[in-house]
Amino acid sequence: MLEKFTEKAINVVTEAQNQAKLMQNVSVQPEHFLLALVKLAKGISLNVFRTYKMTFEDLHKVVDEKLRFEKSVRIVSTPPFSTASKDLLKKALDIAQKSGNQNILYEHIFLAVLNDKNSYIPRILERFNFDVYKTKDLISRLSQKKTKRQLHPESDDNSGLPEELLQTDNLLSGSKEVFDRALSKLSASNYEILGTEQILSSILEDSNTELTQILSKLGLTSDIFEQKLKEITSRKDEFEGKQIIFTPNAFTAMNLAIEMAKELGSSEVTPTHLLLGILKTKKGIAYNILKNLNLSTSTVEHEIIKPIEKQMPETLTIMKLAKEEARRIGRNTVGTEMFLLGIIAEGYGIGFRVLNELEVTIKDARQTVEDIVGYGDEYFDQEITFTPRAKKVLETAWQIAKRRNEPKIESAHLLYAITTVPDCVAMKVLEQLGVDVVEIKQGIILEKQRSD
């Protein structure tokens, strides 16, 4: 039966058995479960016990007094579960099933304890003036909230997700010098609209950067590019029938650059991201020159990303892990739930530490994701894409990092961003595992304070 219990619920069962052993009782009784619930309480449950001034120490004295006749003459290494305790666990399972939850949560054990009438628990609660009915109502509503299911995959729901507009101010912060040079080239070219060729030309002009040195080794220098550019007599490859400040192709490249910055964990759009954006468009003057020089765009992309990977930015690691999790269950789409699994699997950042403190394990999270999303049979050779809500979470995390003037997107930004989309799959997973938004936000604040 324990395979249906979340890590948090298993810890309650283990702690109940541990309390029975420490108190030298013959077997594990329902009262030991009450002790375990109080000792391991967090969030709303902790506030409930604090309301009635029920501390672990005070409760321990009362339980020890009530179970004094249950003492063993010898120390039992692993006290067995009494019939009453087994019945209590069955009731917890029944409560979970009736609420439509496939997992047994801490809250379900809590409700089973409150419903118990055959032990000393009712009298113990009376001593603390504990309002059983009020608490049952609160915990029931909390557990019901955690059983709401996602009816459709995130990729099928585009409601409330406006198309992202390019803000050039966001670009200038990390690539101001590149754009200053590009605008100078634009003025000298007799063109009125900024294209990808001016952007790439401006990137190559600064020969002292790590990026241009990588490109030089690959056979692309400023002189070579400028020579090829002189051979171009038409800008038709930059247009698709509409004219804006950027050429349509440059506009696309800039939006892709922003997306690449987010995925690589940067709160600024740098020349590296601009070049990656140009490569991703697979069209336009700059891209065509690279092709004419017989440069493999995949090789260029790999080489310029390598230095970033060496720095091991949290978000890049999380994105890679999220994509691996998607492939594991046969999906070509990364939703917010894969971000969550990536944060846990990363195993180091603030996001991981917060979830670890809340006893959210990769095993429980994976199982819950599989229950909600299910396995797919999509081909792995296709490019993995993000759902609209995953993009929204990444955008929010990016904005949080920018507002705080932090150069990189961290796991804490991603986890906080997930809480701002209450109906995303990641939040459904956390709710199924007995974690709420308040606990997450409080945890992030505490971990940030510890880190600072």
Task: Determine contact, residues 34/59, Cβ cutoff 8 Å.
Answer: yes
pLDDT, tens only, 20-67: 999 888 889 999 999 999 999 887 888 889 999 999 999 999 998 888
Please give the pLDDT value at position 422. 86
Please give the pLDDT value at position 307. 79
CA pair distance 237, 241, nearest whole angstrom: 11
Please give the pLDDT value at position 171. 47
Do domains 2-145 and 168-310 share one topology? The answer is yes
Quickly tell me which residue has 């003459």 as its tokens.
73
Is the pLDDT at 187 greater than 80? The verdict is no
Please give the pLDDT value at position 73. 56
CA pair distance 402, 400, nearest whole angstrom: 5
The angle formed by the CA atoms of residues 312, 314 and 316, to the nearest 5 degrees, is 75
For 2-145, which CATH class? mainly alpha
CA pair distance 273, 152, nearest whole angstrom: 33
Is the pLDDT at 69 greater than 90? The verdict is no
Report the chain's C-alpha Rg in angstroms: 29
Please give the pLDDT value at position 193. 65
Please give the pLDDT value at position 154. 53
CA 387, 388, 394, 397 dihedral sign is: negative
Is the pLDDT at 265 greater than 90? The verdict is no
Task: Determine contact, residues 345/321, Cβ cutoff 8 Å.
Answer: yes
Question: What is the 8-class DSSP label of residue 78?
Answer: S
**Residue from 259, 289, 278 nearest 164 by CA:** 259
**81 DSSP β-pair partners:** 28
Q: Which residues contact 160 (CB under 8 A, 6 or more apart)?
A: none
CA 410, 411, 413, 414 dihedral sign is: positive
pLDDT band at 418 (very low <50, low <70, confident <90, very high): very high
What is the domain partition of the chain in residue ranges?
Answer: 2-145, 168-310, 314-451
Please give the pLDDT value at position 243. 41
Tokens of 389: 């809500």
Domain 314-451 has CATH 1.10.1780.10: yes
At the fourth CATH level, the homologous superfamily of domain 168-310 is: Clp, N-terminal domain (1.10.1780.10)
Give the least confident one: 42-46, 81-85, 178-182, 211-215.
Answer: 178-182
Is the pLDDT at 164 greater than 60? The verdict is no
CA pair distance 137, 171, nearest whole angstrom: 51
Is the pLDDT at 161 greater than 60? The verdict is no
Question: What is the 8-class DSSP label of residue 156?
Answer: G
Task: Determine contact, residues 175/271, Cβ cutoff 8 Å.
Answer: yes
Other beta carbons within 10 Å of 222: 18
Q: What is the mean pLDDT of residues 309-335?
A: 82
How much is the mean pLDDT over the chain?
Answer: 80
Quickly tell me which residue has 């995959």 as its tokens.
153
Please give the pLDDT value at position 340. 94
Model-wide pTM > 0.75: no
Please give the pLDDT value at position 145. 54
